[in-house]
Amino acid sequence: MVRVRLLLVAAACSVPDGDYFGRVPDDVDTTHFRWCNQGEPDHLDPALASSTASATIVDLLFDGLTVYDMHGTPTPGLAASWDISPDQRAFTFHLRRDAKWSNGRGVTAYDVAFSALRELDPRSGSPNADTLLPVANAKAFYTRDRAANRRVAAHELALRDLGAPIDAAYARVPAGGEVWLLMQSGGRATLPSPDGRAWSYVTQQGGAWGWVPADELAPGDWASPEVLGIDVPDPYTIRFTTADPTPYFVDLTANRALRTTPIEAVSRAPDAWTDPARIVTSGPYRLAAWIARDRIELERAPTYRDPGEVKTERITIYPFDDQAAATNFYFAAGCDATASNAIPSTWLPVMAEHRYKDYRVSPYLGVYFLWVNTQVVANRHLRRALSLAIDRTAIPRITYGGETPTAQLTPGAPIASLTDAELAACGVSRTTPGVALLMADGLCYVPPLGLDYDPAEARRELAAATAELGTLPALHYRYNTGSEGNKLIAEYLQSQWAAIGLDVQLEAQEWNAMLADTAAGKYEIARFGTLGSAPDTESDFLPLFRCGTPDNRGKYCSADFERLMTEVGPLVDRRARNAKLREAEAVMLADAPVIPLYVYTQKHLIKPYVHDYADSIIDQPPLWRVWLK
């Protein structure tokens, strides 16, 4: 801490007057890349990681069917190729045969299927399961009773690898202990039995998971994963069948939700298998050390399928929760680059004015918004008043980052900035307000405008809320610490709400604690945001608001919104889909379970000797391709 404070003082005393904001050392270790992350990861398990601080590290450790290229586009990863059916419902991936886990075992399609089944098991608590909900019958499988598939051990169960003898058991369940059946051998997506016997894979609360002979479990009905649209016809082929046409499904396969996990490591320590001593990985790097709130050390993985892509021997990741600390650590050459938006807002005018060569600003497929807990703030008029009271045009003068103020949920480029060809594709004129999302194949999605600033209407909505409720509930606004911009925005919002007669108290909270509290519904209003993995509102934005989806932190559930999203399903024509999605988004925004504020921009600090640091629109840089010279 003393070192950080000294750096802060040093940076504050003077503004660099050279070409670069950060000190450029004379000697650079070209084998070692040092990265200032934007916080401590919440998890390194792909099934459980839910924060931007985790996403890039997960990508370094675990391979996916596809991975992001330098432009943020999915490119072959574990899958060398894939086929898409004409109705855009069947997606068949053909895996390469040279991919290996760090323990030497080959990666197969059964690993991909296990990872998907694990995330869709409601007992896993995966916040990333919504990525897989387009798969046929996935929603019913995920939302089933969590007590389904429960079994009581009639006698002691010996948990082991599939087909292993009883003396190779790594854990035991005592007689009378509870287990839950997840899958059985020989299914459409599960490993065949190695000995002709039927085997069951069981999980237990707070203990190891594993295979047992099926006849050791009492018979009973169960929710079988056989209903899911997941097939493994051979060890190097996996087919996902979706309930409806899903033109963006391949884009989802680079997401952390489909980063494959190893059954043998997960089974032995479900809650701690990503500890450095236990972790088994398949990505370009392996985990050497994780010292909480200090650093994460990664080493080149000798088993990675494409060693020529890995450009440095080591990566050190510093998990800075505080923007000022991260920026000043970079200033003093403590790291070679920063994650996006790790710069305090008060520094941004200086960066822009001096035009430092190591400061980059670029577009970002993300939106900064406020979740409103609809189970606590259940009155629609009150939620609408909260949104209508905010003059978003002032926020860029607070953040100094060139952000685009918007009451639209789906992010995009300002319509006024589009080319004539893009305006034509979007069906708008240059004077049309708002943003538009430019999609693949020349398509465009123009989101509805939402509840933008109208103080008179905000007061009318507040009066209607007061008439219905009598006494307004106490409101608190939660934001995460370490970001100067978050604090300044919180204070601005408080003043905007006070102007219409709403008293909202501010609460600052550490990021991972805020993630846990909002997931548990312990809040009223909270600062959040979401980032797209593909330029499509269906992939990451609108699914957040469907009833019962894992990351629906506002617990919003609307019959009208569900109906419209369901009507989108069977449509093959993308323009028709977009029109129906726009109707659905308008219904949701009118209910105000979310209050959008602005479209993000990315702001990075990157040393001049750092090459191939990709700052694509989705901000998922493949750091294994970074090289130093």
| Cα distance between residue 352 and residue 346, in whole Å | 11
Let me know the angle formed at the C-alpha of 540 by 341 and 285, rounded to the nearest 5 degrees: 60
Q: Which fold has domain 363-602?
A: Dipeptide-binding Protein; domain 3 (3.10.105)
Per-residue model confidence (pLDDT) at position 3: 33
Residues 413-436 have pLDDT tens digits of: 999 999 999 999 999 999 999 999
What confidence score (pLDDT) does residue 156 get? 94
Closest CA to 46 of 131, 161, 160, 138: 131
The CATH architecture annotation of domain 2-58+275-358 reads: 3-Layer(aba) Sandwich (3.40)
**Residues across the chain:** 629
Residues 410 and 413: their CA atoms lie apart, in Å, by 10
> Which residue type sits at 69?
D
- Average pLDDT score, the chain: 93
What letter would DSSP give residue 188? T
Extract the runs of DSSP E, i.e. beta strands, from 66-209: 66-68, 74-76, 79-84, 90-95, 150-152, 157-159, 171-173, 178-184, 199-203
Name the pLDDT band for 9 (thresholds 50, 70, 90): very low
User: According to the model, what pLDDT value does residue 345 have?
Assistant: 87
Instruction: Decide: 330 and 338 in contact? Cβ < 8 Å.
Output: yes
350-to-7, 12, 328, 330 alpha-carbon distances in Å: 18, 12, 14, 16
- In three-state secondary structure terms, 136 is coil
- H-assigned helices in 253-311: 263-268
- In the chain, the N- to C-terminal Cα span, in Å, equals 31
Give residue 14's pLDDT. 64
Show the beta-strand stretches assigned E in 254-386: 285-291, 295-300, 314-319, 337-338, 359-372
319-355 residue pLDDT tens: 998 999 999 999 999 999 999 989 998 899 999 889 9
CA 503 – CA 5 distance, rounded (Å): 35
In 483-508, which positions are buried (b, 16+ CB within 10 angstroms) versus exposed (e)? Answer: bbbbbbbbebbbebbeebebebeeeb
Q: pLDDT grade, residue 219 (50/70/90)? A: confident
Q: What average pLDDT does the segment 359-388 reach? A: 96
Tokens linked to 262? 């190893």
> Where are the chain's structural domains?
2-58+275-358, 63-263, 363-602
Which pLDDT tens digit goes with each residue over 512-555?
Answer: 999 999 999 999 999 999 988 888 999 889 999 999 888 899 99
Q: Is residue 364 within 8 Å of residue 617, measured between CB atoms?
A: yes
How much is the pTM? Answer: 0.87
Rounded CA gap, 300 and 316, in Å? 12
**How far does Cα 156 stand from its chain's mean position?**
40
Q: Which fold has domain 63-263?
A: Dipeptide-binding Protein; domain 1 (3.90.76)
Nearest to 363 by CA among 41, 82, 598, 40: 598
